[in-house]
Amino acid sequence: MTAQEIKVTTEKAGMAIEPAIRAPWMEGMQRLLRQKTAIFGLIIVCILLLTALLAPLLAPYDPVAPDLPSRLQAPSATHFLGTDELGRDILSRIIYGSRISIQVGLLAVGISLIFGTFLGAISGYFGGKLDMAIMRVIDIVMAFPYILLAIAITAMLGPGLNNAMIAIGVVGIPIYARVVRGAVLSVKEMEYIEAAKVSGCGSLRIIMKHVLPNCLAPLIVQATLGIGTAILDAAGLSFLGLGAQPPTPEWGIMLNKGKDVMNIAPWVIMFPGIAILFTVLGFNLLGDGLRDALDPRLRNNN
């Protein structure tokens, strides 16, 4: 193929790229809406988001103000989910805890996504010794148990919600780096990438404009699944005393404090656990649905 033919091919590709990308995404969304489990997950996620946004309007009581005369009351018309060991309304604390969970999930996944995408893109695109060096570091990081590495990083930085988010984000970087690298290795062999190189596009422009846009599907799926995992990990770190600190209305803290009175007031630990369960379930179902909808290899099965 001559340089002139390649230039013509690039121009045609540029004119056709938007419809070509839009059509699969529209088909993917239609397949997603046909999956009942994915819709159920989407409903859970939407409820969680609305709860977090409208927390001041939905919460009937102050989530941090103690009310000792009302301590360890069972669920009733006054306190729908009961009260904890300090008399605080559990429903109000769960509602405000949804804000923290969403914050942790989005920021932790954002850290993993940004740095993981950067490392995976340059590793997959340039290859060679750079690829080998980055992947060996990734392999070393992934050799450590995920939660233990998060605990170690949080312990070094010090207890706190922000440090917990950083730790969860850091330990998630290798996952996104591998996902992006695999996608880039496949995309960079396409003809339109070669056409872009011949037409004079620099490496950065090719990566940002041609390579990464075609790697979005696996990234979106991994990020959706990753939010649920990050929320669960943050609750685990808070349960161990390394994440959010009292009196913050965080679900992991509620489980930690509730374990001491679970024999006489099981609702103190039961309802925060249910909140974590449905939140993680919602993101996992939505992520699985997105994977099935956006993966071209599964189109014939939907």
More confident residue, 20 or 111: 111
Which range of 107-111, 143-147, 191-195, 243-247 scores highest in mean pLDDT? It is 107-111
Q: CA-CA distance, 250 to 273, in Å (whole number)?
A: 11
Summarize pLDDT for 178-234 with one digit per residue, the tens.
999 988 888 887 777 777 777 777 778 888 888 888 888 889 999 999 999 999 999
pTM for this predicted structure = 0.85
Arithmetic mean of pLDDT, 47-68: 94
For the chain, domain boundaries: 3-10+28-60+79-301
Q: What is the pLDDT of residues 21-32, one digit of tens each?
A: 455 556 766 777
Please classify residue 85 by burial: count the beta carbons closer than 10 Å to its beta carbon, then call 0-12 exposed, 13-18 middle and 19+ buried: middle
Q: What is the chain's mean pLDDT, rounded?
A: 85
pLDDT at residue 17, as a whole number: 43
Best CATH choice for the domain 3-10+28-60+79-301 from the list 3.40.190.10, 3.40.50.720, 3.40.367.20, 1.10.3720.10: 1.10.3720.10
Average pLDDT over residues 289-300: 69
d(CA 167, CA 161): 10
Q: For residue 180, how many other CB atoms are within 10 A of its CB?
A: 27
d(CA 119, CA 239): 32
Question: What is the spatial distance between Cα 235 and Cα 250, in angstroms, rounded to a whole number?
Answer: 8
Closest by CA to 247, choosing from 232, 237, 257, is 257
Q: Convert the pLDDT of each residue in 251-275 to its tens digit.
A: 999 999 998 898 999 999 999 999 9
pLDDT at 132: 92
The confidence band for 57, taking pLDDT boundaries of 50, 70 and 90, is very high
